[in-house]
Amino acid sequence: MSLLHIAILSPLLLAIFVPVIYKISKFLHLGWFVLPLPVILFTYFFSFLGDIKNGQAVTSSVEWISFLDISFDIYIDGLGLLFALLISGIGALVVLYSIYYLDKYKEHLNTFYVYLLLFMGAMLGVVLSDNLIVLYAFWELTSFSSFLLIGYWNEREKSRYGAQKSMLITVFGGLSLLGAIILLYVMTGTFSIREIIAQSDFIVSHELLLPTMILILLGAFTKSAQFPFHIWLPDAMEAPTPVSAYLHSATMVKAGIYLVARFTPLFGITGEWFWIVTIVGIITLFWGSFNAVKQTDLKGILAFSTVSQLGMIMSMLGAGAASVHFDFLDENIYTVATAAAVFHLVNHATFKGSLFMVVGIVDHETGTRDIRRLGGLMTVMPITATIAFLGAFSMAGIPPFNGFLSKEMFFTSMLRITEMGIFNLETWGLLFPILAWVASIFTFIYSMILFFKTFTGKLDPEKLEKKPHEAPLGMLIPPVILASLVVIFGFFPDLVSTNIIEPAMASILPDLLGDGEKFDIHIYHWHGLKSFELYMTIGVIVVGTLLYRSLRKWDGIYNRLPKQVTWNYFYDRGVELSQLGAYNFTKSYMTGSIRSYLAYMLIFFVAILLWTIGYKDAFALSMEKTSPIRVYEVILALVLVAGSITILAAKSRLTSIIALGAVGYTVSLFFVVFRAPDLALTQLVIETVSVALFLVCFYHLPKLKREERVRFKLNNALISLGVGVTVTLIAMSAHSTKLFKPISEYYVENTYELAHGKNMVNVILVDFRGFDTLFEICVLGIASLGIYGMIKLRLSGKGEQNEKQ
């Protein structure tokens, strides 16, 4: 196993030891023991930056399940490295922030950091795995670990509700992704992402292309909270703020973005990919920004703003995919959308991560996140207010911060759509820049609400649960670092474009580059007065300011939307109806009757096997290599049948016991005839003991009443007949169909040579299948201990006492 594999698995390995460390760390916060790992991981992944920048991918492979074509393959290119740096870098800041946010005496820190490390390792596995099965395993682990993190405060009903909601929606997407993976394997015969993309020309013309594409997009849209699957993200804000800052700004919600970017070289050439990704993204952008304005909880504002920003990135990836229809141009006219998507991916992690931490500070120091109770905090929390100013104005797209640059590139990419001349964009394409501009106005409004409603105005301490004051230094360092990056990337954007954007674009749009070529991305603040994007930005600021100042006059439109026509209502009703339907369906067959359950199993057994035999035309009958049936064998068979019928028809228990013994002894005679004396002896012993035990029990049993006798029932007779016929047909077909040499020959050839035994049956039981025998003995031993315990309890009188209670 290489160092790369250890790096990915190290968070999972550390999670195993966290409970032990928690037990011995009495005087130091547990987070200090966790913090070094993400710092080391960030440093380690950062060391690959030079190689990746020069176009050299880093690979490593470990065999796992080779016969299923599953291996733990790691592939680090520009796209994977970008996400690895975000996961480890933001992870380190979040761990540092959590040390001061979570009280070590009041919180269950061991569970928190176990969940956080599970999530960190899962995300690294998702973005760095080349094998789709391994990627899917890590993908589902992100859903599971995020479920645990969102429901960390499990005593709160809202936390449990949010965790369940996120789990149901994202796991649905995960199952869709699994379906797509299976279809890709059917088409290509490999699980390797690189090998699949290499067969893109074949896949694009395949009949399974569209269902595979839709299933992949369902997985991406659910994970990245795209419309209409966005409803889980606001409820996930019940998690602790460090979780929100990590999962919902920089990592988990970006997993879907990663998936779309990774598969753009495969599906990007199709018109369906462009329309679905771009339309869903632009609708999500508008709907998220529109709903963020009406929120009164600071986390609620950030939740819908995250939905909005994810939609913005998704729409740019969709628009950028259309660039594969054009030859590479030095001016990057058609690749600006992809560059903007990657740039905003980084920018969003910086300003949104800092804002989540700011909200956590406000909640931690004032006891509330309700903007109706907040205001004037700038006077008592100047550093926090400064961080909030930088983050909010960057999110609003105000110069000179990094959010302004990526927002300008977003406007450019939406305007370029109308010039492409493909996919009927010359008509419908005009809607994209219009929706982008309107959504940006709402983005400006909620950004202003977030800052001004919280930090300006009059401070009213009576409305707050705590006396507000500035946060401790340790809690301020992580958001200060992120806010500093907001400014640095705003003034020096080429630091990102050269080292991050260009390598990532080479991964997303590899077909646009020739041998040895690289993308040449330069980002500027000023593009001249002829730039239409400049006037769009001015319009956003002017209209946004007017709407913000007159917010009370028009925010009543939100109250006019009926609650019964919301996606949350449909989700809640859907869950209720599914639970009710499941309950009624289960109640219909869970009658408490073991006889009924056995009937269900046998009916299914008969139906599925007979259908399979008929559908596959699997029945075969060959009389070759069969021994002749002798008269006494027929007589023994008739005795078996007669004994079995007698058991059912007997009018007394004694007759049934005698008939049951006759059946068992007849079977032992068959073993004698078939030259299996050991089996015959075993059968005789078992039957003798069984009959003796039945006779002992018979002494204590009441006389068999008429209503207790077995009566003929047509349903039972049909089921019995069906099982008998099915098993007979399978036995005859199995005997008549020889696909390979019988295993008995192996035992004949090797019993003496390998096991040095002359009795084949004994050798099989003791040597070849020794573990089976051992486990059977263990089961019998456990059952014996259980029986002994119950008898002991009964003799001591505790059993009767418990029954009375």
Residue 638 domain-assigned?
yes
Mean pLDDT for 600-627 is: 86
Residue 137 domain-assigned?
no
| pLDDT tens profile 556-579 | 888 887 766 788 889 999 999 999
On whether both 706 and 789 belong to a single domain, the answer is no
Residue 714 domain-assigned?
yes
| pLDDT tens profile 693-727 | 888 887 777 776 665 556 677 888 899 899 999 99
On whether both 682 and 805 belong to a single domain, the answer is no
331 confidence band (pLDDT: 50, 70, 90): very low
Rounded Cα gap, residues 751 and 21, in angstroms: 53
pLDDT recorded at residue 521: 85
Question: What's the mean per-residue pLDDT of the chain?
Answer: 88
On whether both 671 and 718 belong to a single domain, the answer is yes
Cβ pair 178, 217 in contact under 8 A: no
Residue 734 domain-assigned?
yes
Task: Write out the DSSP string of 557-619.
Answer: GGGGS-GGGSHHHHHHHHHHHHHHHHHHHHHHH--S-HHHHHHHHHHHHHHHHHHHHHHTT--
Rounded Cα gap, residues 710 and 79, in angstroms: 71
280 confidence band (pLDDT: 50, 70, 90): very high
| pLDDT tens profile 616-625 | 888 888 777 7
C-alpha angle 397-401-406 in degrees, rounded to nearest 5: 55
User: Residue 332 pLDDT > 60, yes or no?
Assistant: no
Task: Write out the DSSP string of 116-171.
Answer: HHHHHHHHHHHHHB-BHHHHHHHHHHHHHHHHHHHTSSTTSHHHHHHHHHHHHHHH
- Which of left, alpha, beta for 737 (phi over 0: left; psi -120 to 50: alpha)? beta
Residue 408 domain-assigned?
no
On whether both 710 and 728 belong to a single domain, the answer is yes
User: Across 438-442, 615-619, 668-672, which has the greatest mean pLDDT?
Assistant: 438-442
C-alpha angle 570-571-576 in degrees, rounded to nearest 5: 100
On whether both 713 and 610 belong to a single domain, the answer is yes
On whether both 637 and 700 belong to a single domain, the answer is yes
> Within 322-381, where are the H helices?
336-366
User: Residue 407 pLDDT > 90, yes or no?
Assistant: yes
On whether both 721 and 750 belong to a single domain, the answer is no
How many domains does the chain divide into?
2
Rounded Cα gap, residues 141 and 127, in angstroms: 13
Choosing from 709, 725, 741, the residue where a domain stops is 741
| pLDDT tens profile 502-531 | 999 999 988 777 677 788 888 888 877 778
Rounded Cα gap, residues 156 and 144, in angstroms: 19
On whether both 638 and 690 belong to a single domain, the answer is yes
User: Residue 380 pLDDT > 60, yes or no?
Assistant: yes
Residue whose pair of structure tokens reads 């993204």 in the numeric block:
281
Under DSSP, the state recorded for 521 is -
424 confidence band (pLDDT: 50, 70, 90): low
pLDDT recorded at residue 514: 67
Residue 634 domain-assigned?
yes
Rounded Cα gap, residues 241 and 352, in angstroms: 12
Mean pLDDT for 744-761 is: 83
For residue 709, the enclosing domain spans 594-741
On whether both 695 and 785 belong to a single domain, the answer is no
Choosing from 724, 741, 758, the residue where a domain stops is 741
| pLDDT tens profile 87-133 | 999 999 999 999 999 988 788 899 999 999 999 999 999 999 999 99
Mean pLDDT for 133-145 is: 95
pLDDT recorded at residue 197: 93
User: Percent of the chain beyond pLDDT 70?
Assistant: 94
On whether both 605 and 737 belong to a single domain, the answer is yes
795 confidence band (pLDDT: 50, 70, 90): low
Residue 670 domain-assigned?
yes
Pairing between β-strand 70-76 and β-strand 58-65 as defined by DSSP bridges: antiparallel
Look at 426 and 120; give whichever has higher pLDDT.
120
Choosing from 741, 763, 781, the residue where a domain stops is 741
Mean pLDDT for 482-490 is: 95
595 confidence band (pLDDT: 50, 70, 90): confident
Does this model's pTM top 0.85?
no
pLDDT recorded at residue 709: 57
- The first and second tokens of residue 700, run together, are 């204590």
Q: Of the ranges 90-99, 487-496, 795-804, which one carries the lowest mean pLDDT score?
A: 795-804
Rounded Cα gap, residues 140 and 244, in angstroms: 19
On whether both 611 and 654 belong to a single domain, the answer is yes
Residue whose pair of structure tokens reads 């899962």 in the numeric block:
122
On whether both 611 and 726 belong to a single domain, the answer is yes
Burial class of residue 544, CB neighbours in 10 A (0-12, 13-18, 19+)? buried
User: Residue 805 pLDDT > 60, yes or no?
Assistant: no
Q: What is the CATH number of the domain that holds 641?
A: 1.20.120
User: Residue 217 pLDDT > 80, yes or no?
Assistant: yes
pLDDT recorded at residue 411: 93
3-state helix, strand, coil in the chain (%, to 5): 75, 0, 20
Rounded Cα gap, residues 751 and 700, in angstroms: 48
pLDDT recorded at residue 789: 87
Q: From the centroid of its chain, how far is CA 388?
A: 33
pLDDT recorded at residue 705: 66
pLDDT recorded at residue 328: 42
Residue 677 domain-assigned?
yes
Helix axes 132-150, 157-188, angle to 10 degrees: 170
